[in-house]
Amino acid sequence: MTETKTNCCDVTSRAPVSQRAHTVTAPAGSEGLGATVTVTIDDQRVTVPYGNTILEAAKQVGIHIPTLCYHPDLCIAGVCRICAVEVEGMRALQTACAFPITESMTIKTHTRKVRQARRHVIDLMLANHYGECYSCFRSNNCELQALAKECGVDHFRFGHPDQPKFDVDRSSYSVVRDMNKCVLCRRCVRTCIDLQEVGVLEAVDRGSETRISTFMDKPLADVICINCGQCINRCPTGALRANDPTDQVWAAIDDPTKHVVIQTAPAPRAAIAECFGMEPGTPLTFEMNTAIKQCGFDKVFDTNFTADLTIIEEGTELLLRLYKALVEKDPSAVVPQFTSCSPGWVKYIEHFYPEMLPHMSSAKSPQQMFGAIIKTYYAQMHNLNPEDIVTVALMPCSAKKYECNRPEMRDSGFKDVDYGLTTRELAQMFKEAGVDLPQMPKSDFDDPFGTATGSGVVFGATGGVMEAAIRSVVELVCGIKVENLFDHARVMPVRGFEGVRYAELPIENVGPVPDILKHLVPNWDWLKGATLKVAVAHGTANAKRVLENIKAGGKFSECHFIEFMACPGGCLGGGGMPIPTSPEIRAARAKAIYAEDEAYAVRKSHENAAILKIYNEFLTDGPCGHKSHKLLHTSYTARGKYIV
Residues β-bridged to residue 86? 108
Please give the Cα distance from 603 to 370 (Å, whole number).
Answer: 20
Computed on alpha carbons and rounded to an integer, the radius of gyration of the chain in Å comes to 26
Q: Is 457 helix (H, G, I), strand (E, B) or coil?
A: helix
C-alpha–C-alpha distance, residues 153 and 510, integer Å: 70
Query: What is the SS3 string spanning 23-83?
Result: CCCCCCCCCHHHCEEEEEECCEEEEEECCCEHHHHHHHCCCCCCCCCCCCCCCCCCCCCCC
In the set 86, 143, 403, 563, the catalytic residue is 403
- How far CA 209 is from CA of 498, 574, 583, in Å, comes to 40, 32, 34
Distance linking the first and last C-alpha atoms of the chain: 37
What strand order describes the sheet that includes 36-41?
44-49, 36-41, 106-108, 84-87, 94-95
Beta strands 36-41; 5-7: pairing state: unpaired
**Catalytic one among 56, 287, 314, 350?**
314
Query: Is 317 labeled as catalytic in the residue annotation?
Result: yes
| Ordered DSSP codes for 500-515 | EEEEEEE-----PPPG
Phi, psi of 311 (to 5 degrees): -60, -45
Q: Is 571 a catalytic residue?
A: yes
Annotation marks residue 483 as catalytic = no
Nearest partner of 175 among 403, 398, 423, judged by Cα: 398
Choose, from 361, 398, 412, 472, the residue flagged as catalytic.
361
| Run of H or E residues at 126 | helix 112-126
Catalytic residue among 375, 400, 415, 604: 400
Running DSSP on this structure, what letter comes out for residue 294?
H
Report how far residue 144's alpha carbon sits from residue 233's, in angstroms, rounded to the nearest whole number: 15
Query: Three-state DSSP class for 301?
Result: strand
Q: Is-catalytic flag, 533? A: no
CA distance 627 to 604: 24
Candidates 97, 275, 397, 571; catalytic one: 571
Active-site annotation holder among 143, 313, 317, 467: 317
Q: Which residues are catalytic?
A: 314, 317, 341, 361, 400, 403, 408, 571
